[in-house]
Amino acid sequence: MEKGIIEKLRDSQLRGRGGAGFETWIKWKIVKESLAKQKYIICNGADGEVESSKDGFILDNYLEDVVNGILIAISEVGAQKAYIFLRKDYFDKYKERLLVLTANQPIILFEKPEVGYIGGEETTICEIIEGREAKPRLKPPYLAENGLFGCPTLINNVETFYCVSKIVQGDYKGERFYYVSGKVKNRGIFVLPDSARIRDVLQETGNYPDFDYFVQVGGYFGEIFLPDEIDSRFSAISSITVFDKNETDIYCLIEKITEFFHKGNCDKCTPCREGSFLICEMAKNKSFDYEKVEQIIFSLENSSFCAFGRNMAISLKSIFKKLITNGKNQVKN
């Protein structure tokens, strides 16, 4: 007897490619087993990370597979409607092709408003589609139980739906898309095994540095890894930015990152709003109050309303721990 779709997803060990890395089959199973009369699907194509273009690459080359993955989800979990939520440039570029591919299907194209990074957070997406202010919801309840319009909602990102299509077709090879940027020879998007280490990606793409370096994995929200740590594997977002340790101005780096956090948050909670601003100002003045920085990171970890602030804490803690020790810069200032 042929395996069911959720069983195939389970056997594939596919995890969501949007950041959290949650097991895909479990989320699908929860929505499918719900007795609710109305269910929704959301394909998240917000791709809000700075300079990121992974979703765009997939939409460019595998748009049919993404739509097929969404249609599979609609059928499998018993959803009545699906939304493809795209940032503005993607919406403008792929609208016409998507309208053709989704004709006569219960799929709605939705353009993400210009509301910053937080507009791609899953509960914020629901608020936006419902016509409300772009602010995240408190979790739990989780979207699989109480999402869009109060109904069970399955939300995955563009790459996840692409993978679902490949799994159902029997073409999935346990690979994923890796985005490599920064001071590299071959910047771009590469397909490599899901189990790849940071070292593997740098070597296989011809981007292993021949200088003193560090990398940030997962974009601005990601951790810093030093050369003796690159045998680590990717937890969720598969992007690598390579920095030349001797050419990097630590103050400029922190200013750039915290400015992104400050502009991208929703202003709903104090740790995000004030914490990012205060550290950004310290970086601009090239003087850190390390006790205050520690307090801000603690507040982000323990008092943030949503994952935006907690992920910000991961990034900042990593930077201050690995690039600054006892108030001394470990990179050029």
CATH of the domain at 204: 3.10.20.600
Inform me whether the pLDDT recorded for 305 exceeds 90: no
**Predicted local confidence at residue 327, as pLDDT:** 46
**Predicted local confidence at residue 81, as pLDDT:** 97
What mean pLDDT comes out for the span 254-278? 87
Question: Under the phi-then-psi rule, with left for phi > 0, alpha for psi from -120 to 50, and beta for the rest, what region is 90?
Answer: alpha
Q: In terms of domains, do 199 and 325 share one? A: no
**Predicted local confidence at residue 22, as pLDDT:** 82
**Residues linked to residue 84 through DSSP beta bridges, in sequence order:** 43, 109
C-alpha span between 176 and 117 (Å, rounded) = 23
Domain count, the chain: 3
> End of a domain among 114, 136, 169?
169
Beta strand pairing call for 213-217 and 223-225:
antiparallel
Mean pLDDT of the chain: 91
CATH code: domain of residue 313:
1.20.1440.230
Q: In terms of domains, do 257 and 239 share one? A: no
Helices (H), 151-289: 158-169, 198-204, 250-264, 270-284
Report cis status (omega within 30 of 0) of the bond before 141: yes
Cα 143 → chain centroid:
17
Q: In terms of domains, do 11 and 118 share one? A: yes
Q: In terms of domains, do 63 and 194 share one? A: no
Inform me whether the pLDDT recorded for 40 exceeds 90: yes
Q: In terms of domains, do 150 and 58 share one? A: yes
Can you give the residue range of the structural domain that contains 106?
Answer: 5-169
CATH code: domain of residue 82:
3.40.50.11540
Q: Which one-letter amino acid corresponds to residue 251?
A: Y
Inform me whether the pLDDT recorded for 331 exceeds 60: no
User: Looking at 41-45, 259-263, 265-269, which range is the least confident one?
Assistant: 265-269
Helices (H), the chain: 5-12, 24-33, 54-77, 88-101, 122-129, 158-169, 198-204, 250-264, 270-284, 290-303, 307-323
**Predicted local confidence at residue 232, as pLDDT:** 87
**Predicted local confidence at residue 333, as pLDDT:** 42
> End of a domain among 149, 169, 189?
169
What mean pLDDT comes out for the span 301-323? 88
Q: In terms of domains, do 17 and 128 share one? A: yes
Share of the chain above pLDDT 90, in %: 72
> End of a domain among 169, 191, 222?
169
Confidence label for 156 from pLDDT (cuts 50, 70 and 90): very high
Confidence label for 124 from pLDDT (cuts 50, 70 and 90): very high
**Predicted local confidence at residue 1, as pLDDT:** 60
What mean pLDDT comes out for the span 196-202? 95
Residue 104: Cβ within 10 Å count: 5
Q: In terms of domains, do 44 and 156 share one? A: yes
In contact, 217 and 240? CB cutoff 8 Å: yes
In contact, 145 and 152? CB cutoff 8 Å: yes
